[in-house]
Amino acid sequence: MAKPSRSPQPPSSSNFIRQIIEADLASGKHKRICTRFPPEPNGYLHFGHAKSICLNFGLAKDYGGRCNLRFDDTNPEKEEQEYVDSIIDAVKWLGFDFGGAALYASDYFDFMYRAAEYLVESGHAYVDSQSAEEMRASRGTFSEPGRDSPCRIRSPAENLRLLREMRDGKHADGAHVLRARIDMASPNINLRDPVIYRIKKATHHRTGDTWCLYPMYTYAHPIEDALEHVTHSVCTLEFEDQRPFYDWLLERLAEGGLLKRPLPQQIEFARLNLTYVVLSKRKLVQLVQEGHVEGWDDPRMPTLMGARRRGYTAEGLRRFAERIGVSKANQLIDLAVLEDCMREHLNEVAPRRMAVLDPVKLVIENYPDDREEQVDVPNHPQKPDWGRRQVPFARELWIEREDFMATPPKGYFRLFPGNRVRLRYAYVVECIGYDVATETVRCRLFEDSRSGTPGADQYKVKGNIHWVSVKHAGAAAVGLYDRLFKVPNPGGGERDFLLDLNPDSKKMITAKLEPALRNAQAGECVQFERHGYFVVDGPDSAPGALQFNRAVTLRDSWSR
């Protein structure tokens, strides 16, 4: 059982949401909590959603409650089954269990409609027949109050008649809307008689053509929460102004006996921002549509499907969510935090292998051409129980181009004429020259320096380089990924974010691999020693023609 090397102190063992929950549990307001992750199925999940997923499911888990995965599918024009499938897949991949089945806002359409009739009958809602433009004009501004719609005085009976006609498809899109009757002069614009139902003669991905009237998010969401007995409805900061309506609605429905108390409580937290990354829906769509990346699952994308392909692990993402904490202050997290989480986890789970990414040939002149041997190599230097493997060694080897320099800078301790390094887990060699024409590093080997033999460590060398036998090497495509943007804040200060795209975010190369890598399976993570963590790509790998994607490099205090 591998124990985390660095002590993973829960960094935010305390945050304001936990305090609220603990107080509610202590006071007896709730004896069991329920949270929910409520995506609209109109796009693919990204790191920002991961934060929310980990938060909501994490809370439920920590306090012994449950967390629902609920699709907020109230706008048929934007939502598709494809997205629900992808979202379900992503949540499962992240490692969370939502009790077997996902829930849907659309399952509550009947209740929502009944509730709307109740609001109409009780005078809390009315049908407005103004155009969208008229409504906007009469809504007022930040500094001026709004004006009542002429329709605001319609009788409950007429409102009910109209609402039913709307439901029955007797009116065109936009002809009428249902509005809550609250206060057109409220300083909170969201309370100036918000629209709660609109006509949309569109086919819904689940309810088909049953409805031509669909509830607005602001109306639907509180009801969904209440119906599911969600106790703590955690959402992002931009919904803060919406909370008074959330509470107003639930109170009205509770008064009317349509809902039972205790009512859910909406709690807002700051959404995630990451340096060198864009997370806005609009920008991500643009990256895909304009072909700046190869799709939603491009390893450079901050989507969960992209992250997975890149070799980021679900565990790494969970540690990240834990580490960045939760608060109401806008956060801009350094990408390095995410990368460190990945390194930390991958270091624990990835077997070590040798691969030469930018090969240059090394010839051991005092090693016969027909000689060859197997050297014994650990699969993980800190985990002896992971066993060892045999790696073939011969006269001609591939080594990393940057591991040799004809004229080295100060401090360089790899190969250069006259210097000695250890060929990792094998022999110490001394560089005796470089043949420019054949790009070959010439060396001689010290027979008594073989790793694991007595006296091998009498050779004091600082350099220790990896290698792959030319004769035995396999080849594979390797995707070297770097941050998609070259600046910490893409598109900052009015700039077009596309101008900040990093032209070197992807580099495809062909690498030389040690034989043990030949049978790697899609999804398998390994560390290429001295390089970083790589995963076998799914889509672009074929048996015998593997592709490895670089998730993250190793730390490097020398500088690559």
Partner RNA sequence: UGGGGAGUCGCCAAGCUGGUCUAAGGCACCGGAUUUUGAUUCCGGCAUUCCCAGGUUCGAAUCCUGGCUCCCCAGCCA
The residue length of the chain stands at 560
Beta strands in 96-218 (DSSP E): 103-104, 125-128, 177-180, 195-199, 213-215
The pairing of beta strand 352-353 with beta strand 525-528: parallel
Binding to RNA in span 186-225, by CB under 7 A: 187-190, 194-195, 198-200, 214, 216-218
Site string for RNA, 18-47 (x = CB under 7 A): -x--------------------x-------
555 binds RNA (CB under 7 A): yes
Burial of 201 (0-12, 13-18, 19+ CB in 10 A): middle
Contact segment (CB under 7 A) with RNA among 8-16, 362-370, 440-448, 477-485 equals 8-16
- As a whole number of angstroms, the distance between CA 372 and CA 325 comes to 54
Report the nearest approach of RNA to the CB of residue 294 (Å): 27
62 binds RNA (CB under 7 A): no
- As a whole number of angstroms, the distance between CA 495 and CA 281 comes to 17
DSSP per residue, 442-506? EEEE-GGG-TTSTTGGGS--SEEE-EEETTT-EEEEEEEE--SBSSSSTT-TT--GGGGB-TTSE
Please report, for residues 61, 272, 481, 549, the alpha-carbon distance to residue 265 in angstroms, rounded to integers and kept in the order given. 19, 22, 42, 43
* The one among 425, 481, 497, 534 contacting RNA by CB under 7 A: 425
Identify the DSSP state of 112: H
- As a whole number of angstroms, the distance between CA 483 and CA 464 comes to 29
233 binds RNA (CB under 7 A): no
Q: Is 79 a catalytic residue?
A: no
Report the nearest approach of RNA to the CB of residue 422 (Å): 5
529 binds RNA (CB under 7 A): yes
Q: Is 383 a catalytic residue?
A: no
324 binds RNA (CB under 7 A): yes
Given the complex with RNA, which of 400 and 500 has the nearer CB atom?
400
Catalytic residue among 18, 29, 40, 396: 40
Contact segment (CB under 7 A) with RNA among 12-20, 204-212, 359-367, 507-515 equals 12-20
85 binds RNA (CB under 7 A): no
Please report, for residues 103, 117, 199, 228, 235, the alpha-carbon distance to residue 196 in angstroms, rounded to integers and kept in the order given. 21, 12, 11, 20, 20
Q: Is 40 a catalytic residue?
A: yes
Site string for RNA, 379-398 (x = CB under 7 A): -xxx----------------
The pairing of beta strand 467-469 with beta strand 396-400: antiparallel
Site string for RNA, 123-142 (x = CB under 7 A): -------xxx--xx--x-xx
492 binds RNA (CB under 7 A): no
Nearest to 446 by CA among 361, 373, 366: 366
* CA contacts within 13 A on the Cβ side of 80: 7
Catalytic residue among 92, 170, 260, 281: 281
Contact segment (CB under 7 A) with RNA among 88-96, 340-348, 432-440, 539-547 equals 340-348
Report the nearest approach of RNA to the CB of residue 190 (Å): 6
Contact segment (CB under 7 A) with RNA among 20-28, 118-126, 356-364, 444-452 equals 444-452
Which residues are annotated as catalytic?
A: 40, 271, 281
